[in-house]
Amino acid sequence: MSIDKLKKGNVKFTKTFVENKQLYLDLVENGQHPKVMWVGCSDSRVVPEFIVNANAGDLFVIRNIANIIPPFDAHDSNSSSVLEYAVEHLHVEHIVICGHTGCGGINAMLKGIPQDSVINDWMQHAGKAKENAEKQCCGDLEINTIKANVLLQADHLLSFGYVKKRVKENRLKIHKWLYEMSNGSILFFNETDEKWRAL
C-alpha cells in the first residue's frame, strides 16, 4: 500500500466517520471504556478489530512480534505500561492473548536468529515455548510452539501482582486464542480439558 493510498483512505474514512459520528463523538466526550485488552502480533495480516468485528473503543490493543508480554522481572516498560494502564486505570475485565498461524517471529526463532539481532533479544521471552513444544510427542513443531507461546504469555501476565490479584478475585479473565489465517476462525484453549477448541 502506497502513502497516496493511505491519504485517499483517510478521505474515505472521514466520509464514513460522518455515518458513525455519534459513536466517535461519544468516545471523544466520554472517553474510552474498553472491557477487553488484546495482546496480538504486529503481523499486518492479523488485524484484531477485523477478525472479531470490533468497533472503535471496544479493544485496548498492544501488538508486537509474536504477541509477547515479557514477565514482570524483565522490566519492559513498553508492554508493562500498556498492561498497567489497561488493568489499573481502564479496569478491563478480559485480556485476550491471540497468537496466529504462520507467525514470523516464532518461525524465525525455530530457524535461528542472529545473536546480534534485537529480534533475538525480544524472542528470548518466547524461548520456553519452544522448549515446551519440543517436548511434545506429536504434531507440528511450528504450530505447537505458537500454541505454547500463547500459554507462556498468559503465565507472564500472572507474574504481575495486580493482574494475579484481579484474576484470583474473578474481576479479570485471561483468554488464550489462536487465529487461523487460512480461514479466519479462532481456537481457544479450554482450561477444563486443556485442549484447543473452536470458539
Our answer to whether residue 100 is catalytic in this structure is yes
First-to-last C-alpha distance (Å) of the chain: 32
Q: In what order do the strands lie in the sheet with 173-179?
A: 59-64, 36-41, 94-100, 173-179, 186-190, 195-198
Asked if residue 177 lies in contact with residue 97, where contact means CB atoms within 8 angstroms, the answer is yes
Identify the three-state secondary structure at position 119. helix
Q: Pick the catalytic residue: 41, 76, 156, 175?
A: 41
Q: Pick the catalytic residue: 4, 26, 33, 43?
A: 43
C-alpha cell at 68: 509477547
Q: What is the DSSP letter of 135?
A: T
Our answer to whether residue 43 is catalytic in this structure is yes
Identify the three-state secondary structure at position 107. helix
Nearest 5°: phi and psi at 178? Answer: -135, 120
Q: Pick the catalytic residue: 98, 103, 156, 175?
A: 103
β-pair type (59-64, 36-41): parallel
Q: Pick the catalytic residue: 76, 98, 100, 156?
A: 100
Q: Pick the catalytic residue: 45, 91, 171, 197?
A: 45
- Closest Cα to residue 60, out of 103, 105, 26, 91? 91
Our answer to whether residue 41 is catalytic in this structure is yes
β-pair type (59-64, 173-179): unpaired
The residues that are catalytic are: 41, 43, 45, 100, 103
